Structure 1
Amino acid sequence: MYGRSASQLLKEQASCESGQLTVFNNVAFDQVIKECDEHHLQLESLFRKLMEQKLDVQTTRNGDHLGAFIHHHSLLRNKRCLMAYMQNRAEIVRSLRWQLGPVLPEEIKAKLSYSEGVYFADHSKAIASYMSEMDIDLTVDMVPPKSPSVRVMVLDDIGEVCLGDQSISLTKHSLHSLSRTDAEPFISQGLMEELLD
């Protein structure tokens, strides 16, 4: 029945927790595209039939005209559903870049379609290019800090890193007081944990 696959995509998205992705539903998505193609073919056929009968498409009110009207509006509805599905997923993909950084975990990558993966990579490159050009790190301090430094515990061996003008060894379970701008990238990658007072 027409419209079921498109509504299935939106119901699937609505049932998901806000900001979370489900696996891209290729089967339903392709089925909606196929259905759109069918509506388009039917619409062309009905318009051709009206033209052959030399009837005015705007004023004629017969079965062919009403059929064309139904196919046209079904086509528009399916397109709106596909656009809503893709727009919602694109918003989530953009927000993942800000939450998780330029590298997505494998379990999230597995949920993306190929084009969404390319979109994420291009979006990350655009952000990195802008930050480089402006010489500013927009990913730091997503929430305004209470102090410029932060106490952290290292969750995984990171090794020797240069932070500011000093070299520091970040070994597993070591505690450090670092500037928030130095610690934030490690915290967002899950390599450090902020210790709250």
Structure 2
Amino acid sequence: MAIIHKATLSPSKLELIAGYLPSQPWFIQDGAPELIGAYRFDDPAGEVGLETHVVAAGERIYQVPLSYRGYELAGAQEWLIGTMDHSVLGKRWVYDACADPVYVKALATAILTGQEEAALIVDGEPEPRPSTVNVKGSGTLDGGVPALSASAPVSGTGVTIIDAGGVRLKVARVLEVATELHSELTLSGKWAGLENPVELAAIIPA
């Protein structure tokens, strides 16, 4: 489960995303981003927030995975999106999560084991809050995932590739909502107004 605090953020997540997108090779500058929804994975250690945002800009829909940390991630300055002040947790370092080993492990686990998004537990609310994006991995692996090693993500037109030692991951940045899923090991997602699931990520041959 993912613990969410009722807090004030400065700058907001969407403000950080709006400043980050124009520098990415897969972003077409045809409009300010608007949030469609988001989903979270759980960090078993409870230290790193893992939240992926689905945003619309112009006629395109983008996927932006973020990781939130209470300290800097060593060797990841290139993927630092910015910092924000969290009224409960204090200063948070916000990274492109494709460069964060905690996110890479969580994503691979979800795909290989058929995991869904984390339940959202909000301070002061007795019941979990529903996610605005629902995801599910296609795998059925019962055991643990292969040992992974951190490596720099490589982004191109529409996708980011992460070579993580035991697996090779493809993260869709530009979401093709009108195409069918073709990969065997995928993370698919749906949100309000979307008729069929869309491929968000996949494990691909090395």
TM-score (norm 2): 0.21
Higher strand share: 2
Higher helix share: 1
Q: Which has the higher contact order (CA 8 A, sep 6+)?
A: 2
Which of these two proteins has the greater Rg computed from alpha carbons? 1
